[in-house]
Chain A
Amino acid sequence: QVHLVQSGADVKKPGASVKVSCKASGHTSPAFGISWVRQAPGQGLEWMGWIGTYSDKINFAQKFQGRLTMTIDTSTTTAYMELRSLRSDDTAVYYCARGRAVAERYTMDVWGQGTTVSVSS
């Protein structure tokens, strides 16, 4: 069974960048890729983007184009999400989640525990 373990909470100032890690352990299947989803306090879920396991394919939500970088280090089975030019409305819990199957990459069946990112001056 796959587990996704994310890095700890972080506090950033406006304009800074944050990088969140997501390490897969257990029986990892390499072909499903990783999505990143965020949830602002008291709000719903927002899909940010997806990266294929070999970093050969990437898809972003339009609103994050230019600010979001996703990478995967296959040697350590760790995915990374970096968000730049942070604003106060980027304060949220950030989740990584695994795609269910090759043909269902955006259907997320394994989730990390979430990383709280707070943006405040």
Chain B
Amino acid sequence: DIQLTQSPSSLSASVGDRVTITCRASHSINVFLNWYQQKPGEAPALLIYSSSSLSSGVPPRFSGSGSGTGFTLTISSLQPEDFATYYCQQTFSTPTFGPGTRVDI
């Protein structure tokens, strides 16, 4: 299986901050990398697919980039509703998720 690591595992930020989360794959996965947001007690929600494509209804302050083994999720100006846990997922082979990055105040 392809392993995904995320950094940091958690971070504290303030409203208006620019936040960047990194996801690294153990093998090249081209651009087969998605990002999900999960709030406590809720199901995950798709934010970014194919490394950089914004899912329908997701605000443009979210962006993704990368290819091969290194990827980033950026929130340009953190909003109160963005405090959540973020997971990357690879779909190049049998899907796996990263361990998650918790973003809180």
Which residue from chain A places its CB closest to the CB of B45 in the assembled complex? Answer: A111
- Residues 31 to 64 of chain B near chain A (Cβ within 8 Å): 34, 36, 38, 43-46, 49-50, 55-56
Is the beta-carbon distance between A59 and B91 smaller than 8 angstroms?
Answer: no
Residues of A within 8 A of B100 (CB): 44-45
The answer to whether B99 has its CB under 8 Å from any CB of chain A is yes
Q: Which of A59, A61, A100, A113 contacts B43 (CB 8 A)?
A: A113
B contact residues around A97 at 8 Å (CB): 43-44
Partner of B91, one of A95, A104, A113: A104
Q: What is the chain A residue whose CB lies nearest that of B56?
A: A109
Among residues 61 to 105 in chain B, which have CB atoms less than 8 Å away from a CB atom of chain A?
Answer: 87, 89, 91, 94-100
Q: Is the CB of A114 within 8 A of B43?
A: yes
Kindly provide the distance from the CB of A6 to the nearest chain B CB, expressed in whole angstroms: 10
A95 CB contacts on chain B under 8 angstroms? 43-44
Q: What is the minimal beta-carbon distance from B24 to any residue of chain A, in angstroms?
A: 16
A46 within 8 A of partner (CB): yes
Question: Do A109 and B55 touch across chains, with their CB atoms under 8 A apart?
Answer: yes
A47 engages B96 (CB within 8 Å): yes
Q: How far is the CA of A46 from the CA of B100 in the complex (A)?
A: 11
- A107-B34, A107-B49 known; A47 and B95 CB under 8 Å? yes
Question: Which B positions have Cβ atoms within 8 angstroms of A?
Answer: 1, 34, 36, 38, 43-46, 49-50, 55-56, 87, 89, 91, 94-100
Extra inter-chain contacts (16) besides given A44-B99, A47-B95, A108-B36, CB under 8 Å: A47-B96, A59-B94, A61-B95, A62-B1, A62-B94, A97-B43, A100-B46, A104-B91, A107-B34, A107-B49, A107-B89, A107-B91, A108-B44, A108-B46, A109-B55, A114-B43
